[in-house]
Structure formats: structure tokens, C-alpha cells
Amino acid sequence: VPLLEGRDLGKAYGRAHGRTEALRGASLRLDAGEILAVTGTSGSGKSTLLHCLAGIVRPDTGAVSYRGERLDQLPEKRLSELRRTEFGVVFQFGQLIPELTALDNVALPLLLAGVSRAQAHTRAGEWLERFGVRGQSELRPGEMSGGQAQRTALARALVTGPKAVFADEPTGALDSLASEQVMTALVHTARESGTAILLVTHDTQVAAYADRELRMADGAVAGAEVTA
Ligand code: ADP
Ligand code: ADP
């Protein structure tokens, strides 16, 4: 069983006037520990596909399975629990909490999961270290560079030990050096922890870090193979 699979996904936004079909029969398989890049031009449906696979958006048609369980049919309560325990997400602008230090941002998912404060801070520090931003532990997001903030956001996405991390243009706001540092850190830590990464990007340099690359066009994935 693949870790995560989307089959024949369809998703439309809006009604009659200005209706957009963001997904039209998109299929994709993500294996455990795999780093998969989904590329394609702006508007091809990459973000919508990521949102459907991550259980953030429900597809109109088709099926999303996580370890054989139909995500698209789960009640919201169970879905949000699964997102919290099994998945990590990171977006183009890390969406760190501006009032919290880097350490507290990374500790937060652990605190929400019931880990003690002391334990949460210890583990958060370790993950900041892995991403090369331990020296920035006490800084707030506004006091960090874009690359440091994104590495902190990645530490936060990985700190709970998710099976899959969904990264939507994680380097979209960074220059090429910072991009490289973020991707190197992400790939290295994902390998170490056996975390699968679904990486959405329009940047071919960034996609080159993945094990496999699939291209999207017009709401569908070219060359995607799903299990029978
Ligand atoms: P990409 O990530 O490849 O840029 P998106 O999945 O963001 O593509 O968008 C695919 C299409 O769906 C685009 O035409 C976009 O404008 C539209 N779209 C995406 N999200 C929404 C939304 N929440 N409401 C309306 N249209 C949307
Ligand atoms: P990306 O390039 O990652 O797709 P966007 O800026 O297109 O980022 O989209 C950011 C968010 O806005 C996404 O959650 C997407 O679903 C939503 N969105 C995209 N296009 C539209 C749209 N035309 N109308 C409303 N929401 C949209």
C-alpha cells in the first residue's frame, strides 16, 4: 500500500460564472520516505492537489487514501486529528506565529500534542539545530532572514515526527542561496527521519532535490502511476 494516493481527483471552484476546474482527473502516488516534486506552471492545480492530499480541501470527485484509509470520506474531527499527528505542512511564507520566538514556534505542535513544556523545548531546540538555526532560537520571525524563518517553519513541520510533509513553494520567497540551504536541510532531515515529502514548486532547481518529479498541466498529472 502506498503511503498516500490520490486517484482521479476533481475539484472546481466557483459556480456557473467564472467556474474554475482546478483539478480534472489528477492522480498521484507518494511512497513512504519518498521526496516527490510536483511542478507545473502557475494555475495548473499544484496547490489544490496538495491541499486535497493533505486533507485540507475535500475533492469533489475521486479518492484520497492514506495508508489505505479514505481521507476524503473521513469526518472532520478524525481528519484534523490525522493531520495533526501524521502530517506536517509548510507554505511559501512559513506562517510562523509572529509573537513567538523560533523555539516557541517549533515547540507549539508538541505542546498541542500534550508533550511537557520542558520536553517540548528540548526537542524544539534539537530540530532547530538540525535545520541550522539553533542560534536564532530566541528571535521572533520578523527578526530572522527569510531563509532562517523557512528553516524554522520546516523544523515546526517535522518536530512531531510526521509520516508526510506537504511543502507548497517552500522556497518561493527566497533567493537562490537561501533556497539551496532550505532544500539541503529539508532533504537531509527527511532522509534521516524517513519522512515523505510532497514538494510543490514551479522552480526546476528546487525540483532537482526530489527523487521523482511529476508535471501538472490543466489540473492533471502527467505520467503519474497509481497502484492497480
Ligand atoms: P497552482 O498551485 O499550480 O498555481 P492552484 O491549485 O493554486 O494552482 O490553482 C488552480 C486554479 O484554481 C487556478 O485557476 C486558481 O485561480 C484556481 N483556484 C485555486 N484555489 C481557488 C479558490 N480557493 N477559489 C477559487 N479559485 C481557486
Ligand atoms: P500558489 O501559487 O501556491 O497556488 P496562490 O497565491 O495561487 O498560491 O494561492 C494561495 C491561496 O489562495 C491558496 O489557498 C489558493 O487555494 C487560494 N487561491 C488561489 N487562487 C484563488 C482564486 N482565484 N480565488 C480565491 N482563492 C484563490
Q: Is 168 in the pocket of ligand 2 (CB under 6 A)?
A: yes
**In a mutational test of the pocket of ligand 1, which residue from 24, 48, 202 has the highest number of ligand atoms less than 8 Å from its CB?**
48
Q: Is 169 in the pocket of ligand 2 (CB under 6 A)?
A: yes
- Ligand nearest the Cα of residue 42 is 1
Q: Which of 175, 170, 146 is nearest to 158 (CA)?
A: 170
Q: Using one digit for the tens of pLDDT, what is the confidence trace for 184-228? A: 999 998 999 999 999 999 999 999 999 999 999 999 999 765 554
> What single-letter DSSP state applies at residue 14?
S
Q: Which of 189, 204, 203, 90 is nearest to 149 (CA)?
A: 90
Q: Using one digit for the tens of pLDDT, what is the confidence trace for 155-170? A: 999 999 999 999 999 9
**Whose Cα sits closest to atom 16 in ligand 2?**
48
- Laid out side by side, the sheet with 87-90 consists of 87-90, 164-168, 196-200, 35-39, 212-217, 220-222
- Tell me how far CA of residue 192 lies from CA of 33, 54, 92, 185, 195, in angstroms: 10, 22, 23, 11, 8
- Ligand nearest the Cα of residue 217 is 1
* ipTM over 0.85 threshold: no
